[in-house]
């Protein structure tokens, strides 16, 4: 299987993280997977790449591309979003390996479903891919990724990496909370989102972020430019998963329209 690192920074350590993560994934589940391609960020949606991540309400860390007549199956990862919120020095620690491993295992889970039709039992029932997320499949591949991370966390380097992530996320949350109390809602939202993205178990950070975003909507004068404010009022949703689902649906609709035009 090919590992193609095409990032603009941290190429060697990213290659190391990928290969370390692969050691924790069942090798049988990697059968038929042609390549893992690692890029800085997705390039097919300029609006997303330009928009600050806290305004989007989600980060897009990667996806799985199934086999077509022109392409073998592969996983594509985006390091800008995988490493989002991690200080540069922490990229060289097991904390970053854990971050990358969860996304990689998630996408390998999609590959397993695509190849076998199930992950654990043959009677698992998945919807055919239509460009819209199947919640059941997402639940199952998250369970699959969770098992990979659980195996990793039995070993002290990854326990330490997880400790680093959670402590740093806690620090960001405290800063974001203070910014909120000071009325700096944009900065509060940035810190709160970053903290919750690093540690989804920190529900206080999520609440801080959501409250800051709601106050940011009505703040005058707004610190946002016109494009950012339009997204905040019309594109952002208080639930990151709902925002991501809506965005992916819009992407699928746009892709369908482009295909029709080519025909």
Domain contains 110: yes
Residue 241 confidence class, pLDDT cut points 50, 70, 90: low
Name the least confident of 46-55, 83-92, 149-158: 46-55
Asked, for residue 55, whether it belongs to a domain, the answer is yes
Residue 10: which pLDDT band, with cuts at 50, 70 and 90? very high
E strands in 6-73: 35-39, 62-65
Considering only 104-118, 129-143, 145-159, 206-220, which range has the smallest mean pLDDT? 129-143
Could you tell me which residue, 247 or 175, shows the higher pLDDT? 175
Give yes or no for residue 47 having a pLDDT over 90.
no
- From CA 14, how far away is CA 256, in angstroms rounded? 34
Among 1, 84, 92, 71, residue whose Cα is nearest residue 40: 84
Please say if the pLDDT value at position 206 is more than 90: yes
Q: What is the mean pLDDT of residues 54-62?
A: 92
* Among candidate residues 81, 67, 64, 70, the one with its CA nearest the CA of residue 7: 81
> What integer pLDDT is reported at residue 231 of this predicted model?
87
> Does 228 have pLDDT greater than 80?
yes
The answer to whether residue 232 is domain-embedded is no
Show the domain range for 140: 2-154
Cα–Cα distance for residue pair 219/231, rounded to 1 Å? 15
Task: Report yes or no on 214 lying in a domain.
Answer: no
- pLDDT, average across residues 183-198: 96
pLDDT over 90 at 46, yes or no: no
- For the ranges 66-75, 179-188, 216-225, 232-241, the lowest mean pLDDT is seen at 232-241
Rounded to two decimals, the pTM is 0.87
What's the Rg (C-alpha) of the chain?
A: 19
Overall domain count for the chain = 1
Residue 43 included in any domain: yes
Distances 3 to 13, 38, 75, 160 between C-alpha atoms, Å: 13, 8, 10, 27
Q: What is the pLDDT of residue 239?
A: 63
Band (253; pLDDT cuts 50, 70, 90)? very low
Is the pLDDT higher at 251 or at 151? Answer: 151
Per-residue model confidence (pLDDT) at position 240: 54
Examine residue 190 and state whether it is found in any structural domain, yes or no.
no
The CATH number covering residue 50 comes to: 3.30.2010.20
Percent of the chain with pLDDT over 70: 90
What is the pLDDT averaged over residues 226-240?
A: 82
* 233 within domain boundaries: no
79 lies in a domain? Answer: yes
């Amino acid at each position: 299987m090919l590992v193609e690192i095409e990032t603009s920074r941290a190429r060697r350590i990213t290659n190391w993280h990928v290969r370390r993560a692969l050691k924790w994934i069942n090798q049988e589940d990697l059968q038929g997977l042609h390549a893992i391609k690692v890029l800085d960020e997705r390039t097919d949606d300029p609006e997303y790449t330009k928009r600050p991540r806290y305004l989007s309400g989600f980060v897009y860390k990667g996806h799985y591309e199934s086999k077509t007549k022109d392409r073998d199956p592969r996983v594509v990862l985006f390091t800008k979003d995988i490493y989002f919120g991690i200080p540069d020095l922490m990229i060289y620690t097991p904390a970053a390996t854990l971050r990358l491993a969860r996304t990689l295992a998630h996408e390998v889970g999609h590959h397993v479903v695509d190849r076998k039709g199930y992950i654990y039992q043959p009677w698992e029932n998945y919807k055919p891919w239509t460009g819209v997320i199947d919640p059941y499949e997402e639940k199952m591949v998250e369970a699959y990724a969770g098992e990979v991370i659980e195996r990793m966390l039995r070993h002290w380097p990854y326990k330490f990496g997880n400790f680093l992530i959670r402590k740093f996320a806690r620090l960001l949350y405290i800063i974001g909370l203070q910014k909120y109390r000071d009325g700096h809602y944009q900065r509060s939202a940035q810190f709160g989102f970053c903290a919750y993205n690093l540690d989804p178990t920190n529900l206080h950070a999520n609440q801080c972020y959501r409250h800051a975003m709601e106050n940011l909507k009505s703040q005058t004068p707004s610190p946002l430019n016109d494009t950012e404010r339009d997204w905040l009022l019309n594109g952002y949703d208080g639930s990151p998963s709902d925002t991501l689902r809506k965005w992916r649906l819009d992407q699928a609709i746009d892709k369908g329209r482009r295909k029709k035009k080519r025909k």
